[in-house]
Structure 1
Amino acid sequence: MDFDWRPEEAEFRHDLKTFLEAELPEDFDAFSLEPPEQKKFSKAFAAKLAERRWLTPAWPREYGGLEQSAWQQLILSEEMVAHGEPRTAQYMCVNWVGPALILAGTEEQKQYHLQRISRGDVVWCQGFSEPGAGSDLAALRTKATWDGSEYVISGEKIWTSYADTADYCFLLARTDPEASKHNGISIFLVPTDAPGVTISEIPSIFAPGTFNQCVFDDVRAPESWRLGPDSGGWPIIRKLLVNERVGVARFRRASSTLDHVAKAALEAGLLDDPIICEAVAKAQAACDAARVLIYRVVDERAKGQAPDLTAYVYRVATIRAEKAVYEAALQVEGSGGLLKGSYGAAQFGHALASGVATGTLEMQLNLIARDVIGAAPR
Structure 2
Amino acid sequence: MDFNWDPEQRAFRATVRDFLAAHLPADWEDLAHGPGSEAQSRFSTKFCAELAKAGLLVPHWPKRWGGREADPWTSFILAEEMWAAGEPRGGQYMNVNWIGPTLMRFGTEAQQERYIPPMARGETIWCQGFSEPEAGSDLASLRTRAEKDGDHYIINGQKIWTSYAGHADTCFLLARTSPGKTGLSVFLLPMDTPGITVRQIPSVIGEGDIHEVFFDDVRLPASALLGTEGQAWEIARTSLSLERVGIPRFALASKMLRRAVSKLQKAGRFGGGAVEQAARAQAACEAARLYSYQIVDQRRHGAPTGPEASAARYATVMAERLVGEFVVEQVPEALAGGDPLLLAHHQRAIVAGIASGAAEIQLNLIATELLRLPREPR
The verdict on a shared fold, with TM-score over 0.5 as the criterion, is yes
Give the secondary-structure state (helix, strand or coil) at the position aligned to 2:217: strand
Give the secondary-structure state (helix, strand or coil) at the position aligned to 1:292: helix
Match of 2:21 in 1: 21
Name whichever of 109-118 and 35-44 sits farther off.
35-44
Residues 253, 50 of structure 1: alpha-carbon distance in 2 compared, 3 angstrom cutoff: same
Match of 2:82 in 1: 80
- Cα offsets for 1:338-375 (capped at 9, x unmatched): 42334764443122110111122211100101102267
Q: Distance in 1 between matches of 2:87 and 2:335?
A: 24
Letter in 2 for 1:12: F
| C-alpha displacement of 1:85 | 1.0
The reply on whether 1:269 has 2:271 as its aligned counterpart is no
| C-alpha displacement of 1:282 | 0.7
Match of 1:195 in 2: 194
| C-alpha displacement of 1:9 | 1.4
Give the secondary-structure state (helix, strand or coil) at the position aligned to 1:4: coil
Q: Structure 2 matches for 1:258-297, cutoff 5 A?
A: 258-271=257-270, 273-297=271-295
Match of 2:67 in 1: 65
| C-alpha displacement of 1:26 | 6.0
Structure 2 length normalisation: TM-score?
Answer: 0.94
| C-alpha displacement of 1:309 | 1.8
Q: Distance in 1 between matches of 2:338 and 2:159?
A: 32
- Cα offsets for 1:29-55 (capped at 9, x unmatched): 443257222222111111111112311
The reply on whether 1:239 has 2:238 as its aligned counterpart is yes
In 2, are the aligned partners of 1:330 and 1:344 still within 8 Å (CA)?
no
Q: Distance in 2 between matches of 1:253 and 1:32?
A: 13
Match of 2:55 in 1: 53
| C-alpha displacement of 1:155 | 0.7
Name whichever of 262-271 and 196-205 sits farther off.
262-271
Name whichever of 200-209 and 273-282 sits farther off.
200-209
Residues 156, 375 of structure 1: alpha-carbon distance in 2 compared, 3 angstrom cutoff: farther
Correspondence for 1:312 among 293, 310, 328: 310
Whose relative contact order is higher, 1 or 2, with alpha carbons under 8 Å and at least 6 apart?
2
Q: Distance in 2 between matches of 1:375 and 1:161?
A: 35
Residues 27, 250 of structure 1: alpha-carbon distance in 2 compared, 3 angstrom cutoff: farther
- Cα offsets for 1:227-248 (capped at 9, x unmatched): 1112212101112101111111
Q: Which runs of 5+ in 2 are unaligned?
A: none
Q: Which runs of 5+ in 1 are unaligned?
A: none
| C-alpha displacement of 1:23 | 1.1
Match of 1:169 in 2: 171
Match of 2:45 in 1: 43
Match of 2:32 in 1: 31
Give the secondary-structure state (helix, strand or coil) at the position aligned to 1:373: coil
Q: Distance in 2 between matches of 1:255 and 1:341?
A: 19
In 1, are the aligned partners of 2:32 and 2:40 still within 8 Å (CA)?
yes
Letter in 2 for 1:192: M
- Cα offsets for 1:139-170 (capped at 9, x unmatched): 11111111122111111000101000111111
In 1, are the aligned partners of 2:38 and 2:208 still within 8 Å (CA)?
no
| C-alpha displacement of 1:176 | 1.3
Q: Distance in 2 between matches of 1:50 and 1:41?
A: 14
- Cα offsets for 1:89-142 (capped at 9, x unmatched): 110111111011101011111111111110111110010000111011221111
Match of 1:10 in 2: 10
Q: Structure 2 matches for 1:293-372, cutoff 5 A?
A: 293-333=291-331, 335-342=332-339, 345-371=343-369, 372=371
Structure 1 length normalisation: TM-score?
Answer: 0.94
Letter in 2 for 1:17: R
Residues 10, 27 of structure 1: alpha-carbon distance in 2 compared, 3 angstrom cutoff: farther
Give the secondary-structure state (helix, strand or coil) at the position aligned to 1:138: helix
Q: Distance in 1 between matches of 2:343 and 2:38?
A: 23
Q: Distance in 1 between matches of 2:333 and 2:53?
A: 43
Q: Structure 2 matches for 1:107-146, cutoff 5 A?
A: 107-146=109-148
Q: Distance in 2 between matches of 1:152 and 1:201?
A: 24
Give the secondary-structure state (helix, strand or coil) at the position aligned to 2:59: coil
In 1, are the aligned partners of 2:33 and 2:344 still within 8 Å (CA)?
no
Give the secondary-structure state (helix, strand or coil) at the position aligned to 1:54: coil
Letter in 2 for 1:357: A
Give the secondary-structure state (helix, strand or coil) at the position aligned to 2:28: coil
**Identity of matched residues, %:** 46
Match of 2:206 in 1: 207
